[in-house]
Amino acid sequence: MKVHRSRSVRRVEVTTDGRNLVSHAGTALLCELADRTGLTRAMSVAMADCGISWNTHDPGVVLTHLAVAIADGGDCLNDFEVLRSQSELFGDVASISTAWRAVKATASFELRQIQKAVAGAREIVWAAAPPGDITIDFDATLVTAFSDKQDARPTYKKGFGFHPLGAWCDTTGEPLGAILRPGNAGSNDADDHLELLDQAIAVLPPEYHLGHEPGDDPGLLRHHILLRADSAGATHDFVAGLVEANIEYSIGHPIDSGVREALLLFQEEDWAEAIESDETVRDGAWVAELTDLMDLSTWGEDARLICRRERPHPGAQLSLFDTSEGFRHTCFITNASALEIDAAALELRQRGHARVEDRVRCWKDCGLKNLPFASFTQNLTWVATSFVAGVLIAWAQMICLDGELKKAEPKTIRYRLLHVAATLVRRGRRLILRLDETWPWAETLRRAFLRLRTAFP
């Protein structure tokens, strides 16, 4: 009878006499990316006037290292120790107490300067990999506070914590801005959405600003911007702000009494089949334009209302109207020209907004799952640093990676590239990082470094 091995690992002898070994070696790619795009230097400038005399560690470099640690999976300051323990590769990394001082010294002025630092580096990255016209997605999420923190409040889901609102560039996968709000902040607060819009546009390269400042002539436009949001963004003030900035919008609309009445008037034969991204028919889904059946004058003269109905999936929560009709209905408003894009194409485009849920999940995986400080201002710094972490991962994917890793989530990037071990070898004045030749993604990481250095010599 064949005996199967019942051990999960080979029995080994453990010693502590290894030399020149580096764990988490792949994080050097993110550090070098920050250096070569000018982000590290810009962070130093941003923190230059933070009011504390620094004898050894530049506070901008400290926050850059903290962002890399967060990208590597850290969710508190103690995780900063991983970089500090490998000074031969990362240089003289600050202690946890020094990192705490850098966070504590960051106030509103420094936070604005950090945004400018990231914007300057983004201009360099987008020049190397131009994204063309872009789509921006807005979405909010809830962050639970597990201890007493400043401005933590009860949430609408009967939890306790914060209700941050974020913006992502769907075209490049990178975060553009965030507002940390108390847990009881309203979902459809137009002022918050407009503030985040200003923040997101401000961090884009200058050529993307042309024509998108309030009151600009549409003829100045060099890049088209589409903004998508769920029904929380369906406020008249927010839509008016988008129209004034010459930004096309596609925003969820609630199924209210007016929509229900329009659906009852709509003819069955006028429903069009929904489509997939490859232009094939989407099974069990149809699209209708209700613009002519509703008064949309309060949304502007170009507003259109599109509705999708689909067979509900098992477990779907249906309204009484959906139950009676036998379909699940969703609606959105847009100001896209009816002559250029039909309803089915617009619905497909709006469906892409669902990717923002993945962006939110990745954001929480890059530091937002836990806001570690009691002070609201210090948690603002943590949120800003977590966004820098997300930006570095997105830029690395844009410039350095291809295939499935180009769209992989942070956890996959960590397990395959960032957490790889290596040997650090000195040859003359050269420092060589020798990756394990048996590691399946060793060649991918080597090519990533080559692409980075080719794009930013």
Give CA–CA dist 246/219, Å, rounded.
10
240: left (phi over 0), alpha (psi -120 to 50) or beta: alpha
Residue 283 lies in a domain: no
Tokens for 157?
A: 């889901």
- Tens digits of residue pLDDT in 418-444: 998 888 888 878 888 888 888 999 999
Instruction: Label residue 166 by pLDDT band (50, 70, 90).
Output: very high
| Residue with tokens 């379909």, as numbered in its chain | 327
pLDDT of residue 1: 56
Backbone phi, psi, residue 453, to 5°:
-75, -25
Asked if pLDDT for residue 399 goes beyond 90, the answer is yes
Give the tokens for residue 133.
């016209």
| Predicted local confidence at residue 212, as pLDDT | 84
Tokens representing 93 are 């990394």
- What percentage of the chain reaches a pLDDT higher than 90? 47
Residue 309 located in a structural domain: no
pLDDT at 30 over 90: yes
pLDDT at 398: 93
Mean pLDDT, the chain, as a whole number?
87
pLDDT score for 391: 94
Report yes or no on 282 lying in a domain. Answer: no
Whether residue 169 is contained in a domain is answered as no
Distance CA 48, CA 117 (A): 12
pTM of the model: 0.90
pLDDT greater at residue 130 or residue 79: 130
On whether residue 60 sits in a domain, the answer given is yes
Is residue 397 in a domain? Answer: yes
Instruction: pLDDT band for 34, please (50, 70, 90 cuts).
Output: very high
Task: Inform me whether the pLDDT recorded for 52 exceeds 80.
Answer: no
- Within a domain: 293: no
Identify the bridge partners of residue 177 per DSSP, sorted by sequence position. Answer: 167
Domain hosting 404: range is 21-110+372-424+438-455
Tokens of 388: 């820098």
Rounded Cα gap, residues 449 and 456, in angstroms:
11
Instruction: Note whether residue 389 is domain-resident.
Output: yes
Q: Averaged over 255-261, what is the pLDDT?
A: 84
Number of domains making up the chain: 1
| pLDDT higher than threshold 70 for residue 393 | yes
